[in-house]
Amino acid sequence: MKIIMLGAPGAGKGTQAKMIAEKYHVPHISTGDIFRANIKEGTALGVEAKTYMDQGLLVPDELTVKILLDRVAKPDCAEGYVLDGFPRTIPQAQVLDEALEKLGEHIDFCIDVEVPDEHIVKRMSGRRACLKCGATYHVEHVPPKKEDQCDICGSQLVLREDDRPETVENRLKVYHEQTQPLIEFYQKKGVLKTVDGTAEVQDVFAAIAKILG
Ligand code: AP5
Ligand code: MG
């Protein structure tokens, strides 16, 4: 099963993608997590990606597409995957489409997690992220068991650099300009499903599980 998670920054794509990955036994692939892991390790890719991410801008398509195509070619993706944060532009979606077509494959579901902009800034300031394993928490809605410590790997949780309110506003602008057109792109393909992302985490997941079956 090949699934794409669409939605504004902070809509809950990562939170839901993790739950989907567990229930349906497919890898969770987040381009944002891949970039953050590279930034942490200080790789050349990380250094380049950081200059865009810190401003709330998209990392250029050439760089992002290559990383994604390399990742989905790995053996653990043979039975499918859940993509979180990719594609983010029409050209990225087209490259993915062409790559899948060559393999005789296609995207089964594109799930749009809908959350209005006014909810987003509030959510971001409360988010805490684990840069080691990619887990995401929220100080009020999804608190870790021990303060500032990841439940899964025990690492120190941090406020992401790009979660400052002024950067969040920029990310929202970029989302509306470059990513939102993908809703129509996948609607035309007949694979788009929409869920209300303002509901409780478990209720959003129940709606998604109903769609995926
Ligand atoms: P990325 O890491 O993908 O960030 P994003 O899209 O901005 O999304 P977020 O991770 O911020 O939010 P999310 O939807 O995953 O929400 P979450 O589940 O954490 O990308 C970062 C940057 O990398 C980009 O800006 C860009 O520069 C670059 N990049 C990445 N991919 C790229 C690409 N393909 N092309 C070019 N550049 C790329 O939830 C948010 C918070 O809300 C959490 O605290 C969570 O606990 C809480 N929460 C979740 N669900 C609920 C709920 N239902 N109710 C209450 N709280 C909730
Ligand atoms: Mg995320």
Domain at 189, CATH number = 3.40.50.300
The verdict on residue 98 lying in a domain is: yes
Q: Which atom of ligand 1 is nearest to the CA of 60?
A: 36
Residues of the domain holding 105: 2-27+74-115+176-212
Q: How confident is the model at residue 68 (pLDDT cuts 50, 70, 90)?
A: very high
Residue 53 lies in a domain: no
Is residue 38 in contact with ligand 1, taking CB distance under 6 Å?
Answer: no
Please tell me the least confidently modeled range out of 11-20, 124-133, 195-204: 124-133
Give the separation between CA 200 and CA 67, rounded to whole angstroms. Answer: 32
pLDDT at 71 over 90: yes
- Whether ligand 1 lies within 6 angstroms of the CB of 7 is answered as yes
Q: Which of 13, 18, 71, 128 is catalytic?
A: 13
Q: Is residue 183 part of a domain?
A: yes
pTM (whole model) above 0.75 = yes
The residue whose two tokens read 């909810």 is 119
Ligand 1 midpoint to CA 13 (Å): 6
Q: Is residue 159 part of a domain?
A: no
53 CB neighbour count, 10 Å cutoff = 21
205 in ligand 1 pocket by Cβ < 6 Å?
no
In a domain, residue 166? The reply is no
13 is catalytic: yes
Domain assignment of residue 69, yes or no = no
Q: What is the pLDDT of residues 39-62, one digit of tens each?
A: 999 999 999 999 999 999 999 999
Percent over 70 (pLDDT), the chain: 100
The active-site residue out of 2, 18, 50, 88 is 88
Which 3-state string (H, E, C) describes the chain?
CEEEEEECCCCCHHHHHHHHHHHHCCCEEEHHHHHHHHHHHCCHHHHHHHHHHCCCCCCCHHHHHHHHHHHHCCHHHCCCEEEECCCCCHHHHHHHHHHHHHCCCCCCEEEEEECCHHHHHHHHHHEEECCCCCCEEECCCECCCECCECCCCCCECECCHHHCHHHHHHHHHHHHHHHCHHHHHHHHCCCEEEEECCCCHHHHHHHHHHHHC
> Which ligand is nearest the CA of 53, by number?
1
* Average pLDDT, rounded, for the chain: 95
Closest-approaching ligand to the CA atom of 68: 1
User: What's the pLDDT at 165?
Assistant: 86
Per-residue confidence band for 179, with pLDDT thresholds at 50, 70 and 90: very high
Is 88 part of any domain? yes
- Best residue among 136, 150, 168, 195 to mutate for probing ligand 1, ranked by most atoms within 8 Å of CB: 136
pLDDT of 116-174, one tens digit each? 999 998 889 899 999 888 899 999 999 999 999 999 999 999 998 899 888 999 999 99
Residue 105 lies in a domain: yes
Residue located via tokens 């062409």 = 98
Domain count, the chain: 1
Please tell me the distance from the alpha carbon of residue 29 to that of residue 101, in angstroms, as a whole number. Answer: 20
